[in-house]
């Protein structure tokens, strides 16, 4: 059973302990070919102002037309967050002036968002998990980008992003420390990537978070919060929270008060600094956009999208545990990213049926493959060993053709030079020796050459490992370890 998060780390101040309260507003770029209200491309990295329609540039008389795909993606995301889908929602104008916002307002949703309350299960340390509440999800337009570093005397504006669809996903103030906040963003990003509704690429700014932080005495009323804007790295989110919470504790303990404001994190200094005082909703003069009808869905529309959702990380983890007998840890590692889960499932599909062993396959994917990929800083999509190749290696172990030790050599050969594992075993004579007479000869040789050790092993049976090692060595690692053990035990009489 999953429970709401609890405070795990308190901050020690001079007046006692402080609890940190955190809520996140995540902006996730919707995966779609065109923008929220225009047909211009959403492709990343185009020449400045090459993906701009007359609507995005806010030419007079242009009218927005809702992109059905963006709406579907938002509803699918809501369903993936176990959230209430609002069958009627409204687009509002959020008015403000900024050079990268040619309309003079952002089309967003205010009082009636497309998605209401939901929740996310986050993985915490020590294998624990807890739920974080989702307040709402709404659709809105992204703004353009001001470029101040091209020339010393003027600034430029690139409108390629202008009008791209964003989902703003707002959490409840349920998060209690930096690690929980990092776990929350990690899990949210994973769910979005499973759904294919946002690619989660934080470096490109396709997923960014505004982090609200306040402190209070444990169990007391909520304190005044500061909002740290536009964080696009999970590690920086953690650092910013740690810094900001301590800053607030020090101010309060020095007799000061927290002013609600918007702050920026400086990754070089590891500090947050003030950007502006917090604006209120009325500063934006929100009103329903007269150019757009409310969005209305039938129940059948929502049901159809629900039926088409992929298996998400939590149910997949549960299934890996119940159907394949994986440990919670292994299952958790495999489902953490959609690509890893896909890879593992492709390995399973490629295993020969009679020896299908999900646990052995999981060990090889996690320990050998992921271990090696991590060491070389490679992504799974760039793995030199493919899922069918890894399946062949696992099959060769499972059916007893090669030992686990030889399999590591084989993995190395496939990693560096590729090839069909089964053919490689054949060509290089790597097969495990199960021929009992050959093993027996090796066992006899070792026993007769080492009478002193034979005497020792009678007194201390654990010393049999020395004999096993010698026989394996003399066979070049190819003797079947079980057969070696059995023969040694019977010959040594232990």
Which residue ranges make up the site for ligand ADP (CB under 6 A)?
21-25, 170-173, 212-214, 222-223, 225
Nearer to ligand ADP, 239 or 260 (CB): 260
Nearest to 210 by CA among 237, 234, 183, 229: 229
| Least distance in angstroms from the C-beta of 213 to ligand ADP | 6
| Least distance in angstroms from the C-beta of 150 to ligand ADP | 32
**Residue partners of 365: CB distance under 8 A and separation at least 6:** 334, 340, 343, 344, 347, 390
CA-based diameter of the chain, in Å? 100
DSSP string, 427-444: HTT---B--HHHHHHHHH
Nearer to ligand ADP, 109 or 129 (CB): 109
Gyration radius (Cα) of the chain, Å? 30
Q: Which residue is nearest to ligand ADP (CB)?
A: 23
How far apart are the C-alpha atoms of 67 and 41, rounded to whole Å? 12
Task: Count CB-CB contacts under 10 A for residue 364.
Answer: 25
The CA-based angle 378-342-132, given to 5 degrees, is: 90
| Least distance in angstroms from the C-beta of 221 to ligand ADP | 9
How far apart are the C-alpha atoms of 209 and 230, rounded to whole Å? 5
Nearer to ligand ADP, 95 or 346 (CB): 95
User: 386 in helix, strand or coil?
Assistant: coil
**31, 43 in Cβ contact below 8 A?**
no
Taking each helix axis as running N to C, give the angle between helix 464-474 and helix 481-492, from 0 to 180 degrees, rounded to the nearest 10: 130
| Least distance in angstroms from the C-beta of 225 to ligand ADP | 4
Nearer to ligand ADP, 25 or 119 (CB): 25
Nearer to ligand ADP, 177 or 395 (CB): 177
Nearer to ligand ADP, 170 or 454 (CB): 170
| Least distance in angstroms from the C-beta of 140 to ligand ADP | 12
Nearest to 185 by CA among 260, 236, 125, 109: 236
3-state SS, one letter per residue, for 40-65: CECCCCCCCCCCCCCCCCCCCCCCCC
| Least distance in angstroms from the C-beta of 368 to ligand ADP | 41
Nearer to ligand ADP, 180 or 389 (CB): 180
| Least distance in angstroms from the C-beta of 167 to ligand ADP | 14
| Least distance in angstroms from the C-beta of 135 to ligand ADP | 6
Nearer to ligand ADP, 223 or 477 (CB): 223
Please state, in angstroms and as integers, the Cα–Cα distance from residue 469 to each residue in 332, 383, 403, 429, 479, following that order: 35, 33, 14, 21, 11
């Amino acid at each position: 059973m999953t429970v709401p998060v609890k405070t795990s780390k308190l901050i020690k101040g001079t007046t006692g302990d402080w609890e940190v309260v955190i809520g996140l507003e995540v902006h996730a770029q919707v995966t779609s070919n065109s923008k929220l209200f225009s047909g211009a491309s959403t492709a990343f990295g185009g020449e400045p102002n090459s993906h701009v329609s007359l609507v995005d540039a806010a030419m007079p008389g242009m009218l927005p037309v809702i992109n059905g795909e963006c709406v579907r993606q938002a509803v699918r995301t809501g369903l993936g967050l176990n959230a209430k889908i609002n069958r009627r929602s409204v687009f509002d104008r959020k008015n403000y002036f900024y050079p990268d916002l040619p309309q003079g307002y952002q089309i967003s949703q205010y009082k009636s968002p497309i998605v209401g309350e939901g929740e996310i299960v986050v993985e915490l340390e020590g294998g624990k998990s807890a739920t974080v509440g989702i307040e709402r999800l709404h659709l809105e337009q992204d703004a353009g980008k001001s470029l101040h570093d091209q020339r010393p005397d003027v600034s430029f504006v690139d409108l390629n992003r202008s009008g791209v669809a964003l989902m703003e996903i707002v959490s409840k103030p349920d998060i209690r420390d930096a690690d929980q906040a990092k776990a929350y963003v990690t899990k949210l990003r994973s769910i979005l990537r499973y759904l294919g509704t946002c690619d989660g690429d934080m470096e490109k700014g396709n997923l960014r978070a505004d982090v609200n932080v306040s402190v209070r005495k444990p169990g007391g009323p909520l304190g005044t919060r500061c909002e740290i804007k536009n964080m696009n790295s999970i590690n920086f989110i953690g650092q910013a929270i740690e810094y900001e919470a301590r800053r607030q504790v020090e101010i309060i303990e020095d007799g000061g008060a927290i002013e609600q404001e918007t702050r920026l994190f400086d990754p070089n200094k590891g500090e947050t600094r003030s950007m502006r005082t917090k604006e209120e909703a009325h500063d934006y003069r929100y009103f329903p956009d007269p150019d757009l009808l409310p969005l209305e869905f039938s129940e059948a529309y929502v049901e159809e999208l629900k039926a088409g959702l992929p298996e998400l990380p939590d149910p997949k983890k549960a299934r890996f545990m119940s159907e394949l007998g994986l440990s919670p840890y292994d299952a958790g590692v495999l489902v953490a990213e959609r690509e890893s889960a896909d890879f593992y499932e492709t390995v399973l599909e490629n295993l020969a049926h009679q020896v299908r062993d999900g646990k052995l396959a999981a060990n090889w994917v996690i320990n050998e493959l992921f271990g090696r990929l991590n060491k070389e800083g490679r992504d799974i999509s760039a793995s030199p060993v493919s899922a069918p190749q890894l399946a062949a290696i696992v099959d060769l172990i499972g059916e007893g053709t090669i030992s686990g030790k030889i399999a590591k050599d084989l993995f190395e050969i496939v990693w560096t030079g590729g090839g069909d594992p089964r053919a490689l075993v054949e060509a290089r004579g790597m097969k495990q020796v199960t021929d009992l007479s050959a093993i027996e000869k090796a066992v006899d040789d070792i026993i007769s050459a080492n009478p002193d050790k034979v005497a020792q092993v009678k007194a201390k049976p654990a010393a049999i490992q020395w004999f096993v090692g010698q026989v394996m060595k003399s066979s070049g690692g190819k003797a079947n370890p079980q057969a070696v053990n059995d023969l040694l035990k019977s010959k040594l009489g232990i």
